[in-house]
Structure 1
Amino acid sequence: MSYIDNIRTFVRVYELGSMSAAARDQRISAAVASSRISQLEDYLSVRLFHRTTRQLNPTEQGNTFYEGACKILAAIDEAEAAVNSITQSPRGLLHIAAPLGVGRRLIAPLIPEFKKEFPLIDLRLRLSDRKLDLTAEGLDVAFFLGVPEDSTLRIKKIADCPRLLCAAPDYIKRRGLPASAHELTNGTHDCLNLRYPGAPEFQWPLQTEDGLQRFAVKGPFESDDGDVLTNWALDGYGITLKPAFEIAEHLSSGALVPVLQETPPIPIQMALLYTHRRHQDPKTRLLIDFMAPRVQAALLASQPDKDT
C-alpha cells in the first residue's frame, strides 16, 4: 500500500498547498509526508513540486500527475465501496464537518450511537463556523446552515430552523426593549453579530410589515464562534440572532428572552452537503440516512412554544 499512500499524500499536499497541512490532515508527521513525496518523485524521476522556504508550488509534471492521481484514488474508492456494498459491512473512515453549535448540540451526541451500530466505521468530526471547502479539506459530509454557494455539491435538506432575536433580562432592564428593528441599526441597541472571513451574511434578515428587510446591525462585539455570542448575550452585553435549537435551554430557564417578536428573523435551512462521488460510498449513505431523521427530530423537539 506504500505507493498508494504516497499518492494520497501527494494529492493532499497539492490540494492544501502545504506539506505540514497535508501531514496534519493525514495524521502523519511532516517528515513522513515529505519522505512520501520524495519517494514518489524518485519513482517517477520527476520533480512534482517547486520548494522554497516559504512556498510549495506544483511543477508542470505535478499538475499532470495530479489529474491522473485523482482518477486512481477515485477508482480505488469506488472499488472498495462496491466490495463493501456486496459484503454489507461498510468499513473505513468518514470525515464530517459541522458548525460549532450544530456539532456540539446535535451531531456529537449521535456519533457514539452511529459507531455502536456500525462498528467498522470510524468518524472524525470537525467543528467550525467558518466556510469549508469539502474537496480541498478532504470532507465526506458537511452539515450546513444557509444556502451553499457551490452548486456542484449535492444537498439533502434536513429542516428549516426557526431563529429569533434574544437578550438577557438584565440587558433589557438596563436598555429597554427595542421598539422597532431600526433601533438595531441606529446605535440605540447593541447587537452581537457572527462574522468570519467569507461569511455570506453580514445583515440580519427580518420579516416586517413591508416584507423581508435586511438590517445592517451595529454593536461593539463580534465573533466567529456562535457560542461566544450566546455567552455574551447571557452576560447582558447585547441582542443576538440565534437558531432556536442553540438557545432552547436558556429560553426555557428565562436566562434569555425573545425580543422584536413582531419582526422575527427568517428561518435558516439546515442541510447535509456532499459531493456526487462521496454519495456512491455505502458508509457515506449510511451516515446520511442515520443522521438526517435524528437531527430533524431533535430540531423539532427544540422549537420554542408559540407562547414563548
Structure 2
Amino acid sequence: MKSLSDLRLFVRTAHAGSLSAAARQLDTTAAAASASLKRLERSLGAALFVRSTRSLRLTREGETFLRHCEQALQALDEGCEAIAGGSDAVRGTLLLTAPSDLGRNALRTWMDEFQSRHPGLRLRLRPTDRRSDLYREPVDVALRYGLPADSTLVALPLAPANRRVLCASPAWLARSGPLHHPRELADRNALCFVLGDEVHDQWRFTGPEGECIVDVRGDRVSDDGDVVRRWALDGHGVACKSALDIADDLLAGRLVALCPEWRAEPTPLHLVCADRRQLSPAIRELRVFLEAKCAERLSALAEVAPQAV
C-alpha cells in the first residue's frame, strides 16, 4: 500500500508545479519531499514527472496516476468527514483570504460567530488585497469582489447585488460642500485604490441621464482598501467603496453616501476556490453563513444608502 503522505505530496506537487512549493504547503523540507516522490516512483516503477532545473511537468503515467490519486484521496476525506458526522463535520483548519477592508472589519467578527457554532474549526484568516494564486498557495478558499479572470476557478456568489458607494465624511463635506452630480468629482480630491496593477481612477455611475464615467484625481493612492476607507473617515477626500466594506460607517454616520440618484458600478462578492472537490462541509457551511450575513448587512443600508442595494 502506498503511503498516504507520499500520495498527498504527489498531488500537491502536480497542482503547484513545484516540489519546493508543495513542501512548503505541507510543512516539510524540500529534501523530505524529494525523497517521498522518489519513493513513490520507485514503488510504481514509473517516472511521474519530467524534471529540469526550472520546470516540473507530469509524464503521461503521472497524468493517469494523478486522476486516480485525487479520486482516492477525495473518497478517503469524505469517509473521514462522514464518520465525524453532525456539526462536528465542520472541523480541521480553514485558510481563508479576503479583501483587506472586509476581512479586518466585518469578516473578523463574523468568523467569531461561525467558530462559536463550530468549535472544532481552526481558522487562518489572511486579509489582503493581493490576489492569491489558489493553485500554488496553500489557500482553501478566497473571498473576492468581481468574477475571477480565470474561468477555471469555482466562484460561488455571496452578495451578487453588492455595488460600490460614493462616500465621504461629514467633516470633508462641511469643508468642500455637497456633491450633486458625479461630474463634480473632477474638481474634488479622490481617494483611489489599486486594482491589480492599475490605479482605479475611472469611476462609473448609472443614473437619470444614463451612464456617467468620470476620470478622478487625488493626492492619495493605496493598494490596501482598508487604508482608503480610513482616509475617507479622516476627511481627506471622497471614496468609492464597496457597500459591504462601509456599511457600519454609513449606518453610524461616520461616512455619508453621496449623489443618491446615481449608482456606482457593481462589485459582487464571491467565494472562490480552485476545484469544486475542495467544497468541504466547512466551506459549504461557511458559504451559507456568509451569504446570510452579507444579505443582512446590505438590507440594513436600504434607508441610509438606497443606491447601495
**Where in structure 2 are the equivalents of 1:26-175 lying within 5 Å?**
26=26, 28=27, 32-41=29-38, 43-44=40-41, 48=49, 50=51, 56-58=54-56, 61=59, 65=62, 68-69=65-66, 71-85=68-82, 87-88=84-85, 89-90=88-89, 91-152=91-152, 153-175=154-176
Question: What residue in structure 1 maps to residue 5 of structure 2?
Answer: 5
Residue 165 of structure 1 deviates from its aligned partner by 1.1
Q: Is the 8 A contact 2:14 2:57 kept in 1?
A: no
After superposition, the Cα gap between the structure-2 partners of 1:283 and 1:216, relative to the gap in structure 1 and judged at 3 Å, is: same
Residue 195 of structure 1 deviates from its aligned partner by 1.0
Question: What residue in structure 2 maps to residue 234 of structure 1?
Answer: 233
**Equivalent residue pairs, number:** 298
Q: Give me the whole-angstrom Cα distance separating, in 1, the residues matched to 2:209 and 2:61.
A: 55
Q: Is the 8 A contact 1:41 1:48 kept in 2?
A: no
Q: Give me the whole-angstrom Cα distance separating, in 1, the residues matched to 2:8 and 2:198.
A: 31
Q: Give me the whole-angstrom Cα distance separating, in 2, the residues matched to 1:6 and 1:43.
A: 6
Q: Give me the whole-angstrom Cα distance separating, in 2, the residues matched to 1:298 and 1:34.
A: 49
Give CA deviations for 1:72-105 in whole Å, capped at 9, x if unaligned: 1342123321442355242433332221222223
Q: Percent identity?
A: 30
**Where in structure 2 are the equivalents of 1:274-285 lying within 5 Å?**
274=273, 275-279=275-279, 281-285=280-284
**Where in structure 2 are the equivalents of 1:170-249 lying within 5 Å?**
170-184=171-185, 186=186, 188-197=187-196, 203-249=202-248
Residue 201 of structure 1 deviates from its aligned partner by 6.2
SS of residue in 1 equivalent to 2:183: helix
Give CA deviations for 1:250-280 in whole Å, capped at 9, x if unaligned: 334544323333323144322323432223x
Q: Which amino acid aligns with 2:96?
A: I
Give CA deviations for 1:150-199 in whole Å, capped at 9, x if unaligned: 44424234352253211234433444344532233x4x222112213257
SS of residue in 2 equivalent to 1:268: coil
After superposition, the Cα gap between the structure-2 partners of 1:86 and 1:199, relative to the gap in structure 1 and judged at 3 Å, is: farther
CA RMSD of aligned residues (A): 3.5
Q: Give me the whole-angstrom Cα distance separating, in 1, the residues matched to 2:202 and 2:196.
A: 15
Q: Which amino acid aligns with 2:41?
A: L
Q: Which amino acid aligns with 1:98?
A: A
After superposition, the Cα gap between the structure-2 partners of 1:104 and 1:220, relative to the gap in structure 1 and judged at 3 Å, is: same
Q: Give me the whole-angstrom Cα distance separating, in 1, the residues matched to 2:64 and 2:122.
A: 28
After superposition, the Cα gap between the structure-2 partners of 1:67 and 1:92, relative to the gap in structure 1 and judged at 3 Å, is: farther
Q: Which amino acid aligns with 2:177?
A: G
Q: Which amino acid aligns with 1:235?
A: D
5+ residue gaps in structure 2? Answer: none
After superposition, the Cα gap between the structure-2 partners of 1:202 and 1:138, relative to the gap in structure 1 and judged at 3 Å, is: farther
List, as ranges, runs of 4+ consecutive aligned residues in structure 1 with deviation greater than 6 Å: none
After superposition, the Cα gap between the structure-2 partners of 1:283 and 1:251, relative to the gap in structure 1 and judged at 3 Å, is: closer
